Amino acid sequence: MSSLERRHTHPDPRIERTHEVVKREALEELAARGYGGFTIESVARRSGVAKSTIYRHWTSKLALVADALETLNVQPPGDAAHVPDAPLHRVERLLRHLSGAFADTAITGCTPALIEAAEHDPDVRAFHHTYAATRRQSLVEAIADGVADGTFPATVDRDTAAIALAGAIVYCRVMTSTPFRPDDVPKLIETVLGVTAG
Amino acid sequence: MSSLERRHTHPDPRIERTHEVVKREALEELAARGYGGFTIESVARRSGVAKSTIYRHWTSKLALVADALETLNVQPPGDAAHVPDAPLHRVERLLRHLSGAFADTAITGCTPALIEAAEHDPDVRAFHHTYAATRRQSLVEAIADGVADGTFPATVDRDTAAIALAGAIVYCRVMTSTPFRPDDVPKLIETVLGVTAG
């Protein structure tokens, strides 16, 4: 293995740590100032990492936000191919992850900022909607498998159920002062899908 | 009846029209510029109504937004006392109203702006959460009545079902590019509550 290959396989841990700091500070800056007020300059100030270093790795603020969300908010696998587990457990795991993500200080504040920015910036809108759709897909598949094997009632429409389940959690974050508690996921599943989880 | 009483009972239609214009322009300005950028001055410019006239009726921009939402987005009654109707119909009517409101150009843009502003402004947060809770209450009551009379399954938790149903519609508005269609309300009810509506 050449040194170049080794570097790709085992990235320099100091660089990794710096990237991690920049990504977390970027999400917190986004939450604090909104997408319009957030700049690579302000992330540089906040993180103590040189602007040039940040630009070397991320070409734009949207690229930085997208990478931060992708790598700091890792969704557990929900597809049957990777998780040979019951559909009910897969649904529960994905919903616990979603509600847990809103308890992470760096991640929770991004959603309101992205919702607002998506109204005015077509690139943010495309990113925000694609990101949500991609993550929702695991949930849709787990629900579809559960309907197919009889775990969930035949009256359940998979796409509608996915937006109701994810929607309940997002709703609590953006429309109420009480975040959805991961421990309430079984009650949500029982209400929406009519089966006992947990 | 004195002239004062008559004025209160039958408000001057010209004043009513002016107020209506100010309220609609206020919501559109809020949607276009966000809560931070929105001012009584900008609403005055946009509506062609004098700032002093606006201030005479509304003491702050939040009072104007609150009044606009309250009077331009009138929720159909959902409580059994006012609508002696089946719980299923009441749930359907409330959800059709909510999804229909997001098709109103003046109202649909407020939600993202209020969600974002609620993160930073305690008064907006209190208003936004109270407004959502008050409106959700009609839905909670209709669901509770439906569980009590056996229309909906006993596994349905009324508060959880209300946030899943309203959440699905809000989710589509703020997390996807496809608004929830009022005609899909029966499918939503069938999925979440397991009964056929429509």
> What type of residue sits at position B30?
L
Q: How far apart are CA A45 and CA B83, in angstroms?
A: 58
State whether residue B68 is helix, strand or coil: helix
Would you say B34 and B117 are in contact if contact means Cβ atoms under 8 Å apart? yes
Cα B67–B71–B72 angle (5° rounding)? 110
Residue B24 DSSP SS3: helix
| Cβ-based burial of A197 (10 A; exposed 0-12, middle 13-18, buried ≥19) | middle
Quote the minimal CA–CA distance from B5 to chain A in Å.
Answer: 39
Instruction: Using alpha carbons, select from A57, A69, A56, A75 the residue that is nearest to residue A27.
Output: A69
Interface with B, mutate which of A136, A173, A191, A195 (most B CBs under 10 A): A191
The encoded tokens of residue B35 equal 């809560």
Q: Measure CB to CB from residue A129 to each of B115, B177, B188 and give the nearest one.
A: B177
Q: Give the mean pLDDT of chain A.
A: 90
pLDDT, tens digit (0-9, with 9 covering 90-100), for A7-48: 455 678 888 899 999 999 999 999 999 998 899 999 999 999
Per CB-CB distance under 8 Å, the chain A contacts of B180 are 163
The pLDDT value given to residue A92: 95
Angle formed at CA B149 by CA B163 and CA A92, multiple of 5 degrees: 35
How much is the pLDDT for A80? 64
CB contact under 8 A, B169 and A167: yes
Judged by a CB distance cut-off of 8 A, whether residue A183 touches chain B is no
Sign of CA dihedral A69, A70, A72, A76: positive
Confidence tier at A117 by pLDDT (50, 70, 90): very high
Max Cα distance, chain A (Å): 57
Residue among B52, B26, B1, B197 nearest B109 (CA): B26
The interface residues of chain B toward chain A in range 83-112, judged by CB-CB distance below 8 A, are: 109, 112
Judged on CB neighbours under 10 Å (0-12, 13-18, 19+), B66 is middle
The pLDDT of residue A82: 64
> Which pLDDT score, from 0 to 100, does residue A7 have?
47
Residue B15 confidence (pLDDT): 87
Average pLDDT over every residue of A114-118: 96
> What is the pLDDT, as a whole number, of residue A148?
96
Spell out which residues of chain B touch residue A173, defining contact as CB-CB under 8 Å: none
Interface touch A155/B125, C-beta < 8 Å: no
Gap from B182 CA to chain A (nearest CA, Å): 13
* B83 pLDDT higher than 80: no
The pLDDT tens digits of the residues spanning B4-54 come to: 444 455 678 888 899 999 999 999 999 999 998 899 999 999 999 999 999
Query: How far is the first Cα of chain A from the last one, in angstroms, to the nearest whole number?
Result: 47
Segment A52-73 shows an average pLDDT of 93
- Asked if A40 and A53 count as a contact pair (C-beta separation under 8 A), the reply is no
Residues of B in contact with A31 (CB under 8 A): 119
SS3 of residue B27 by DSSP: helix
Q: How many Å lie between the alpha carbon of B20 and the closest alpha carbon of chain A?
A: 25
Burial class (CB in 10 A: 0-12, 13-18, 19+), B10: exposed
Contacts of B194 in chain A (CB under 8 A): 153, 155, 194
A126 φ, ψ (degrees, to nearest 5): -60, -45
* Closest CA of chain A from B65, distance in Å: 16
Amino acid at B195: V
Nearest to B116 among A116, A177, A190 (CB): A116
End-to-end CA distance of chain B: 47
Higher pLDDT, A4 or B138: B138
Chain B contact set for A91 (CB, 8 A): none
Q: Are A119 and B128 an interchain contact pair (Cβ–Cβ within 8 Å)?
A: no
Query: pLDDT (tens digit, 9 = 90+) per residue, B103-152?
Result: 888 889 999 999 999 999 999 999 999 999 999 999 999 999 999 999 99
The tally of CA atoms less than 13 A away on the side-chain side of residue A66 is 18
Reported as a single tens digit per residue, the pLDDT across B139-196 is: 999 999 999 999 999 999 999 999 999 999 999 999 999 999 999 999 999 999 998 8
Judged by DSSP in three states, A78 sits in: coil
ipTM of the complex: 0.90
Task: Enter the pTM of the model.
Answer: 0.91
For residue A137 the two structure tokens come to 């897909």
- Please give the Cα distance from A173 to A184 (Å, whole number): 14
Per-residue pLDDT band at A75 (split at 50, 70, 90) = confident
Domains for chain B: give ranges and CATH numbers.
Answer: 3-70 (1.10.357.10), 76-193 (1.10.357.10)
Task: Say if the Cβ atoms of B160 and A31 lie within 8 Å.
Answer: no
Nearest to B175 among A132, A172, A187 (CB): A132
Task: Give the per-residue pLDDT at A186.
Answer: 96
**Residues in A touching B184 (Cβ below 8 Å):** 160
| Cβ-Cβ contacts under 8 Å, B132 against chain A | 175-176
Is the pLDDT reported for residue B93 higher than 60?
yes
Distance CA A103, CA A97 (A): 10
User: To which residue do tokens 């009517």 refer?
Assistant: B93
DSSP for B107-120 reads: HHTHHHHHHHHHTT
Q: Give B72: exposed, middle or buried? Use CB within 10 Å, 0-12, 13-18, 19+.
A: middle
DSSP string over B122-163: HHHHHHHHHHHHHHHHHHHHHHHHHHHTTSS-TT--HHHHHH
**Residue A2: predicted pLDDT:** 45
Cβ–Cβ under 8 Å, residues A49 and A150: no
